[in-house]
Structure 1
Amino acid sequence: MNAQITGESDELVGLSVIDSNDIEHVLDIRKKDGEITGHEQDGYPDDPSERTYSEGEHVSQARRYAKYYVDQETEHDTLPWDLDADQFEAVRQALRALSSEEIEKYFGDLLAQSLSHYADDPDVDIGDTSRPEVLPAEQIGGEDAVIYKQEIYLDDSGAIEAVSDIGMTYYVARGERKTVWRGDTPDRKPDARVELFPAPLVDPAPFRDYLVYNLRCQIRDCYLMMGLEPPEEYRVLGHGQYRFTGKYDSFDIYPPYHDFNADIPGYTLEFRPDLPITWGELIGLVDSDGDQSLYDQIKNTLFSR
């Protein structure tokens, strides 16, 4: 992807974007809110319904990249908060700095909600954890077919100031999903939002690392959705923003970046949670000649209090 600003008025920035198929897009972006007010290109059908999925995705990438380019090259804030990789990184660093007590303070309900899915799993010690929020009755696909979300707000110093209550995304019919939020949220745009599937993490420290890794994957998504290769630090495998997971899962234009086991050159799984023992001690628990699976050998250490 390449871009060049071609003109500017009091309200708009005009630019030319060359996408990864060498198709030129000519766009006008409104300075005050990043709205695209004009978009012309000759490489794909003008009617979105007549484009293939790949063609439609290239058009969308060009539009996202245009907003990113103007945001980076001018003083105008044209990038949506949920594609702002720099701001996500600031939140990621703020999350990494939290103590176990602070994780309990800000994300204790999210941890309990996630862990509550393992109440009947004999391998996971959930203690006296109860589920803070009842799952919606209209949800289909089983109890675990849910994604939990929580929005994060930073103060002027870059520390976490507030979080929202829990949001839930679930399916109500085939191909139709719904998101509901519990409680109140601050009256401003968030700086980031963590999105996670239930995980059998019982301690605040590894749960913090789970949230940090999710944001790392989301930063990867920000670049990929603009048609860019992410910086090396963000070439990781795992779930990021759920709205993009479907693209990775279903369409050939993208490899399955969300899949922990995917074989994508240059991309690796790098989730290494803070465990109650060292990695050396954990390796010492493993008997390669034993009859038990690796999971059975280490589960008591990972999933017990």
Structure 2
Amino acid sequence: MDYRRLGSSGLKVPALSFGAGTFGGKGPLFSAWGATDEAEARRLIDICLEAGVNLFDTADVYSDGASEVILGAAVKGRRDKAILSTKISLPIGDGPNDAGSSRARLVNGVEDALKRLGTDYIDLMQLHAFDAGTPIEEVLSTLDMLVRSGKLRYVGVSNFAGWQLMKSLAAADLYGYPRYVANQVYYSLAGRDYEWELMPLGLDQGVGALVWSPLGWGRLTGRIRRGQPWPESSRLHDTADFGPPVDDEKLYDIVEVLDALAEETGKTVPQIAINWLLQRPTVSSVIIGARNEEQLRQNLGAIGWALSTEQVSRLDAVSATTAPYPYFPYYRQAGFARINPPPI
């Protein structure tokens, strides 16, 4: 396994990490993702640890907390071998303090997550979304308190806009609070918006990307192709509306190139899609998910080899999209790119 620093921190994480969103299976979204129980979770984590994958990511909203419970039980007795990552901020109830990143929400949320995970510290805690109603100074001072208490070791964010992340980092520097070292982002061949602002920010500020949904919300599995209906077993029937939009024609063009590269390399379509991500700037770890051992072992096959420069260029070309203003000049006009080149 290849290990990389998480942003500018001293923490080393595996190039591939495991997402526990399939653990629990509660609710309309997460039941469609999977319903892994404790016994199966322990087996999947066995396989991960054997392969060097020791970062496990979850969230308090995944199956109403059941994902954290099952993950905690599955790593019991080997907690020291695991890096546990969870997320807080999205609504967990209808109460006035059941959502967001207020001091009350974060303190209670961390305590609850510790209990569900069965541990006394969380390696990486990420804000699941920006809370526009809570002062950034309140958020950061609370995280500082939780880090100093030993309950959190590193902090990060997910689904932040560039200005939200940069404003938070500036405030952290001003007051001496812990800086966000991780940004959990949607990034795939079918969705490259991350590159326009968040990637340059990550390079400049030392924030590492943890990539969620590297297979384009299940569209780059090799089972979705032009002129064919979605397979009956595809989770897209139940989850497509929850995920990021994807242009169908662009998707089919990408899949056709992936198919060609699969023939050339002897690798699977998902392995190629993940391997492409592993070569992108700022990517610290790609989060893979699996409902069973077969899927997990296939995804683990994305590591230990590399696409050629020519193969990467073909994927770059077919997946490229026109960036919106003010980003497109840097990709299309030489004068802009000369003084402020894009990161890739």
TM-score of the aligned structures, taking structure 1 as reference length: 0.29
- Give the number of the structure whose alpha-carbon radius of gyration is greater: 1
- Name the structure where helix makes up a greater proportion of residues: 2
- Name the structure where strand makes up a greater proportion of residues: 1
TM-score of the aligned structures, taking structure 2 as reference length: 0.27
Of structures 1 and 2, the one with the larger relative CO (CA 8 A, separation 6+) is: 2
